[in-house]
Amino acid sequence: MKAAVLYSTVPKTDTAPEKPSYKDARPLVVQELERPEPRAGELGVAITYSSLCHSDLSVVDGSRVRPLPMALGHEAVGRVVSVGAGVSDVSVGDHVVLVFVPSCGDCRACRSGRPALCHRAAEVNGSGDLLHGEALLRTPSGERINHHLGVSAFADYAVVARESVVVVDDDVPDTVAAMFGCAVLTGMGAVLNTAAVTAGQSVAVFGLGAVGLSAVMAASLAGAGSVIAIDPNAGKHQLALDCGATAVGTPDDAARLIKDAAGDGVDVAVEAVGSAGVIAACLGHVTRGGAVVSVGLPHPSAELTVPALQFAGAGKRLLGSYMGDAVPGRDIPLYLSYWREGRLPVELLHTDTRPLTEINEGLDALASGQVVRRLFQA
């Protein structure tokens, strides 16, 4: 099998904090690995398309600490080519979306109906193992390669837990299905599950990557009266309008746009940047009783400082949303039904498709905001 492996991180530097040259550093090495077979409870999947996400970039630059070496990638679509013992509800040939939280079904979070917060999944995702056993990936010389979020999708093949896939209909284009396992699930879920936005409410989305744009789509789908989309990259503003935003602007425009649309503040602000400063700003942009949904992943060292009186004094809420508080087996088919009805234009998120050999160039394009979702074929 072929996979893109990260052996060492490329930290952001003081001289160019946002633009390390991944094309030159080439942190991801596309190489041959031994092809493992699925164990009990696992599946072998031929990856059709994988999609590059900021969470991958956060591992490459060291913001998201993971054990190395690691085969990266966590958002993908493929076909099942082998089935391990004990799996009876998935068959060879099934069309599957891969999901980066393989819920165990038995921990405190899973039993309470919040599989995105599965304790066992958090443990094995952090160690680079799989839900049903230790890491399987090896170099030809026998060196262990860790799995990324139970998926390792920058590859032509992956062994994953049964709990890491959702079977989807054959007629869903792979270029659409590829984005449902992370970007769509996370952004849509932040609005529909975590914030539970209802018709007529006002929503502001800060950060217009694939997750933020999915949140814009969800707010529009939910019937929000105002959907204000904010990003410093003006090149994304028209795309946000196409996704359902009613107003767009840069961070400098945010206060004015929110006042024009919602007076003293929006009902819900979605932070999809991964910045403690933006989270703090969002608290100032919501009305009394409003909610800020934190979706982005700030650096682990980042700290949040806000006026404490905003909570008890103004009834504001700060809500964390991991994987959109999704139940993948429920939400992916539901969101696909919206797509079929023409109410969820996910294809707008697909910037282009490149060969996996250009994965490092893809990191540069994502970091600089040139692309929303670039898909890769191994």
For residue range 219-260, what is the model confidence (pLDDT) as tens digits?
999 999 999 999 999 999 999 999 999 999 999 999 999 999
Pair (56, 9) in one structural domain:
yes
> What number is the average pLDDT over the span 106-118?
97
Pair (7, 104) in one structural domain:
yes
CATH of the domain at 297: 3.40.50.720
For residue range 148-199, what is the model confidence (pLDDT) as tens digits?
999 999 999 999 999 999 999 999 999 999 999 999 999 999 999 999 999 9
Residues, the chain, total?
378
Q: Does residue 162 form part of some domain?
A: yes
Pair (247, 264) in one structural domain:
yes
Pair (197, 150) in one structural domain:
no
Pair (108, 8) in one structural domain:
yes
Pair (41, 173) in one structural domain:
yes
Pair (57, 161) in one structural domain:
yes
Pair (233, 157) in one structural domain:
no
Q: Does residue 163 form part of some domain?
A: yes
Pair (158, 171) in one structural domain:
yes
Read off the pLDDT band of 18 (50, 70, 90): low
**In what helix (H) or strand (E) does residue 374 lie, and over which residues does it extend?**
strand 373-377
Q: What is the pLDDT of residue 286?
A: 98
Quote the domain boundaries for residue 124. 2-178+345-377
Q: Does residue 338 form part of some domain?
A: no
Q: Does residue 329 form part of some domain?
A: no
Q: Does residue 336 form part of some domain?
A: no
> What number is the average pLDDT over the span 52-81?
96
Q: Does residue 73 form part of some domain?
A: yes
Pair (238, 275) in one structural domain:
yes
Owner of token pair 């999944």: 121
Q: Does residue 248 form part of some domain?
A: yes
Pair (220, 86) in one structural domain:
no
Q: Does residue 333 form part of some domain?
A: no
For residue range 35-66, what is the model confidence (pLDDT) as tens digits?
999 999 999 999 999 999 999 999 999 999 99
Q: What is the pLDDT of residue 16?
A: 52
> What number is the average pLDDT over the span 3-13?
90
Per-residue b/e over 261-290, b at no fewer than 16 CB within 10 Å?
bbeebbbbbbbbbbbbebbbbbbbbbbeeb
Owner of token pair 């040139």: 370
Per the structure, the count of domains in the chain is: 2
CATH of the domain at 134: 3.90.180.10
Q: What is the pTM of this model?
A: 0.96
Q: Which three-class secondary structure string do you get for 17-84?
A: CCCCCHHHHCCEEEEECCCCCCCCCEEEEEEEEEECCHHHHHHHCCCCCCCCCEECCCCEEEEEEEEC
Tell whether the model's pLDDT for residue 143 goes beyond 60: yes
Pair (128, 262) in one structural domain:
no
Tell whether the model's pLDDT for residue 376 goes beyond 70: yes
